[in-house]
A and B are shown apart, each in its own frame.
Chain A
């Protein structure tokens, strides 16, 4: 079966791209799907969070065509190709899908960097589904719009959704933002609620927790990706 390619974008930093990437990676791996996580971030955030070495050049060498893909096993069913500073210097990289042709996976998750349209574009070219991470803030919305415009301009266009992270339902802004954004973007808006257990687990270098608010919300995001959920 051909893998499903997911790109996690949102030009602004700190909107929860890496948290969502790791959350979905853990969800799918626990569900018995074989997950390949590609860290397209020169800062190597997902790599660092997964406890791997973010100073290497794993993914950049594969994209430059100088090395074959050799993903590292992070957990049962979850492999990672590490990001790192050399992604910044890539000239004329290979398209992701052909560079990773033959690597076994059911789901390929691409964690995109902040503020890097050219690297984003590699992920958008490959993606079946694009999730734009956002928060109810003008700059984050600008970043998400910027990435989503580019994604939706693709032919054929990938399925797109906005993901609002760290949602605190006690705040009016957070309660109202999903409807506002759904109307403004004309896209489904999925939410992941603020969850201290999630932050704690990622801080400790582990995978997101199995249970809790964030885990439930991530399950719903995955359901939407698989075409079963609401919105």
Chain B
């Protein structure tokens, strides 16, 4: 090979190494994007699910969610595919629609949902009346925008199985909140008229614990624990729980950092592996030349 041919081969090897590195970038980005809010999407731009909904939206749940969204905003972003088709969060999106509708249109919207006609008419009317008008909503909802997790690599129409998997995963995984966040949220709910009464809430009364549970995506009893009962060690329950969870998370992250790069290489084709090895060898060589020179 003459000098030019060698240079040519080297440049083509660089190209192959770049492609292999891009594949690793893509995987790492996909990992990093999980659990991230990537965009504020216009509510009107959110399209219906690609297939049939796996369950119809329940009116009672939508109303309760709308109350919490009005009080503290939307904390769990709905998930959309790349064409902004809904993957997970039907109730959350319907709750936002309810809030953005004019007060007059809200009753009809709710009645059209599953079970809407079986709700206590007077109680429902009172609760709807207590919702803020669209111009009093927290931002960004007031501007008609909803924070959404957009899975840019997923096309629900082309890949319904992946869409279903995303829906299941989104609904199973909820963000973990710090103790400070939990108490701040509880405080905002209290300010919005939620009460910490024990037992079944009386008619017209809004109970704090189930609402907090709903906001955080946990059960009412977990919400109670998060609200700070003391445990045997004298630490508030939520502090003990979160420090355990944090320690587990740290261990998991350490293990993940070690394996992510290995996994990426392990799943490459032999050609890609060769290209990465070549690039590494070249960089080693160059580093050697620089330190000598």
List chain B residues, Cβ under 8 A from A137: 11, 14
Contact present for A146 and B32 (CB under 8 Å): no
Judge if B101 is at the interface, Cβ distance under 8 Å: no
Q: A137-B11, A155-B82 are in contact. Are A146 and B36 (CB under 8 A)?
A: no
Looking at chain A's contact residues, the main secondary structure is helix
Q: A92-B36, A95-B38 are in contact. Are A149 and B29 (CB under 8 A)?
A: no
Contact present for A142 and B37 (CB under 8 Å): no
Interface centre among A92, A146, A149, by most chain B C-beta atoms within 10 angstroms, is A146
Contact present for B39 and A146 (CB under 8 Å): no
Q: Which of A96-155 contact B (CB under 8 A)?
A: 98, 117-118, 121, 136-150, 153-155
Contact present for A92 and B14 (CB under 8 Å): no
Q: Which of B18-63 contact A (CB under 8 A)?
A: 18-19, 21-23, 25-26, 28-29, 32, 36-40
| CA gap between A50 and B39 in the complex, in Å | 31
Contact present for B38 and A142 (CB under 8 Å): no
Judge if B279 is at the interface, Cβ distance under 8 Å: yes
Judge if B10 is at the interface, Cβ distance under 8 Å: yes
Judge if B282 is at the interface, Cβ distance under 8 Å: yes
List chain B residues, Cβ under 8 A from A95: 38-39
Closest Cβ of chain A: how far from B283's Cβ, in Å? 8
List chain B residues, Cβ under 8 A from A145: 14-19, 21-22
Interface centre among B22, B23, B40, B279, by most chain A C-beta atoms within 10 angstroms, is B22
* Chain B, Cβ-Cβ closest to A153: B26
Judge if A172 is at the interface, Cβ distance under 8 Å: yes
Closest Cβ of chain A: how far from B91's Cβ, in Å? 24
Closest Cβ of chain A: how far from B262's Cβ, in Å? 19
Q: A121-B29, A145-B19, A173-B4 are in contact. Are A140 and B14 (CB under 8 A)?
A: yes
**What are 11 A-to-B residue pairs whose CB atoms are below 8 Å?**
A98-B39, A118-B32, A137-B11, A138-B282, A139-B282, A143-B18, A146-B22, A148-B18, A150-B26, A155-B155, A180-B12
Judge if B72 is at the interface, Cβ distance under 8 Å: no
Residues on B facing A (Cβ under 8 Å): 4, 7-8, 10-19, 21-23, 25-26, 28-29, 32, 36-40, 82, 152, 155, 279, 282-283, 286
Judge if A184 is at the interface, Cβ distance under 8 Å: yes
Known interface pairs A142-B18, A173-B7, A176-B4; 9 further A-B residue pairs with C-beta atoms within 8 A, sorted by A's residue number: A121-B29, A138-B11, A142-B15, A144-B18, A145-B16, A146-B22, A150-B25, A154-B152, A180-B11
Which of A139, A149, A176 makes the CB contact (< 8 A) with B14? A139
List chain B residues, Cβ under 8 A from A64: none
* Chain B, Cβ-Cβ closest to A143: B18
Closest Cβ of chain B: how far from A114's Cβ, in Å? 14
List chain A residues, Cβ under 8 A from B38: 95
List chain B residues, Cβ under 8 A from A141: 11, 14-15, 18
Residues on A facing B (Cβ under 8 Å): 92, 95, 98, 117-118, 121, 136-150, 153-155, 172-173, 176-177, 180-181, 184-185
Q: A92-B37, A149-B19 are in contact. Are A142 and B8 (CB under 8 A)?
A: no
Contact present for A136 and B11 (CB under 8 Å): yes
Contact present for A149 and B4 (CB under 8 Å): no
| CA gap between A153 and B19 in the complex, in Å | 12
* Chain A, Cβ-Cβ closest to B286: A139
Closest Cβ of chain A: how far from B73's Cβ, in Å? 14
Closest Cβ of chain B: how far from A102's Cβ, in Å? 12
List chain A residues, Cβ under 8 A from B10: 138
Contact present for B14 and A98 (CB under 8 Å): no
Contact present for A138 and B14 (CB under 8 Å): yes
Contact present for B40 and A184 (CB under 8 Å): no
Q: A92-B36, A95-B39 are in contact. Are A150 and B11 (CB under 8 A)?
A: no
Contact present for B40 and A98 (CB under 8 Å): yes
List chain A residues, Cβ under 8 A from B155: 155
